[in-house]
Amino acid sequence: MNDAYSYPGKELNLFAEATNWKSYLARSCVSYVHGDVLEVGAGIGSNTPFFYHSGLRSWTCLEPDTALAKTLCNNLARRGLEDRISVLTCQLQMLPSELLFDTIVYVDVLEHIQDDAAELLNAADHLRALGSLIVVAPAHTWLYCEFDKSCGHYRRYNKETLRRAAPERLKERRLLYLDSAGMAASLMNCLWLHHDAPSPAQIRIWDRTLVPISCFLDLLVRYRLGKTVMGVWIKPTD
């Protein structure tokens, strides 16, 4: 990312309707979302209403793409959240060092950042003691496909590569895979279909059929399989 960052992907509106998936993600980490929250790379704000809850002190969306930030503000206003959620059009490294948060969230953002370890190190500097760093990212290098390229993804992660990107001074609390049923669909696209983007119909089938299956199947396989990896780290008090 740079000061005049322009997001290369075109999929944000496409995935905005994946409400089952966004609800599932939010349920998976809601217990770690507390206090003053920073959502990095908020895009058009399609994830924000699912993670936001009334028990928070504040929520700040950080979106460096000015066009996306404008759409984000419009979407928040449409949901009646414009007075409860603030929007900053800048990058994380541009924030004042004294600005601290209790939770910092990255949902499908870290894979877009070339130096991911430096990004998370910077995020840790903006966390208060006992604050949570939550990262959700696409999983498995062997699933990297034309769609990833079209979205500007530098990489996909597994548990170990995401763990290595996290600052050593943070304590790992959760590291797991999600969407085991969706992993099969992604593998099929990677091996045979080679689409640079899923169709709206494919998104609907995945969200309405495969995601509910994953909600059950992920628990059954103990979160060892999935096309998404999620990690949660806590900043110690010392």
Into how many domains does the chain fold?
1
Residue 2 located in a structural domain: no
In a domain, 3, yes or no: no
Burial of 99 (0-12, 13-18, 19+ CB in 10 A): exposed
Q: Where are the alpha helices (DSSP H) in the chain?
A: 12-15, 19-29, 48-51, 66-78, 116-125, 146-151, 159-165, 180-188, 200-205, 211-220
230 part of a folded domain: yes
Indicate whether 7 belongs to any domain.
Answer: no
Q: Which domain holds residue 113?
A: 12-234
Nearest of 87, 8, 11, 4 to residue 45 by alpha carbon: 87
CATH of the domain at 82: 3.40.50.150
In a domain, 41, yes or no: yes
Domain contains 104: yes
Give the DSSP H/E element, type plus range, for residue 144.
none
Cβ(165)–Cβ(117) below 8 Å: yes
How crowded is residue 3: how many other Cβ atoms within 10 Å of its Cβ? 8
How far apart, in whole angstroms, are the C-alpha atoms of residue 49 and residue 82?
11
Edge-to-edge strands, sheet with 101-107: 85-88, 58-62, 36-40, 101-107, 127-138, 228-234, 171-178
Residue 4 falls inside a structural domain: no
User: Which pLDDT tens digits describe the chain residue by residue (238 residues)?
Assistant: 445 677 766 678 889 999 999 999 999 999 999 999 999 999 999 999 999 998 999 999 999 999 999 999 999 999 999 999 999 999 999 999 999 999 999 999 999 999 999 999 999 999 999 999 999 999 999 888 878 888 889 999 999 999 999 999 999 999 999 999 999 887 776 664 556 677 888 899 999 999 999 999 999 999 999 999 999 999 999 7
**Does residue 223 belong to any structural domain of this protein?**
yes
